[in-house]
Amino acid sequence: MSDGFTFLIGDGGDGDFTIRMIHGCRLVFGEVPISQIQMLAHGFSKKALMDIDMAERIGATFVIGEPENLEGLRKLDLPVSEKRQRDYQAAFDLGLNDVAVWLRTGERGLSSNAMCRRIFGVPSDAGSNHPADPSDLRRCMLFLDAADAHDKVSLMADVSPEWARLAANWSLLTATFNEEMATGKLAPRTYELMMSYTGNRAETS
């Protein structure tokens, strides 16, 4: 793994966890006791972030770093999690090469996984989660780009009532999102549209 070092916290028991420092970021693997969680952010500024997407991609419990270091970390060719590798192989065995690549290296969330399963049948353990905010919507859009599946959004209509309403208004949602992203990093109108279709401000996916 690139520039960095690794050290083990614990005595070799089940509660141990490993910390890897790579590109100025702290990558934590294993079960972290609640009493140790605050320690993980030690040494970072108030601008430091926890990158949930990167943690999921590489099978880490936490990934913490300064914004600019996290950006660099994302560009490194880090090994993916065993789960992602299994998903990749399942899609590859079906001849879904573009889908396989996305499952291995793409930005994935519960809702984009749900789209992939309904449209292509993988990953087999994906649920029916719908996108709950613009970040989720963005990941769904990236999946559709990667899999060249924009014409298959209508298949989501039978997944749930929420998905049916989102699918019926997908063009408006994505157009609104793209318009807002062109002028900034926030998408309040997109969020309000999504809430009008799902009525759920608490779910994350």
Q: Across the 205 residues of the chain, what is the mean pLDDT of every consecutive 10-residue run?
A: 49 71 95 86 94 94 97 94 97 98 96 99 98 97 99 98 98 98 94 92 47
pTM score of the predicted model: 0.82
Tokens standing for residue 195? 């809430």
Q: What's the confidence (pLDDT) of residue 183?
A: 92
Place of tokens 């890897």: 20
Q: How far apart are CA 47 and CA 151, in angstroms?
A: 40
Q: Strand, coil or helix: what is 51?
A: coil
pLDDT of residue 102: 98
Distance between CA atoms of residues 130 and 8, nearest Å: 38
**Residue 101: what pLDDT?**
98
With CA atoms as reference, report the closest residue to 91 among 79, 78, 102. Answer: 102
Task: State residue 4 phi and psi, 5-degree precision.
Answer: 165, -175
pLDDT of residue 47: 96
pLDDT of residue 54: 94
Sign, CA torsion 55/183/174/162:
positive
Q: Which amino acid is at 122?
A: V
Question: Measured between alpha carbons, how far is 133 from 109 in angstroms, rounded to an integer?
Answer: 12
Question: In angstroms, rounded to a whole number, what is the distance separating the alpha carbons of residues 112 and 55?
Answer: 17
Query: What token pair was written down for 5?
Result: 């070092």
- pLDDT value for 203: 45
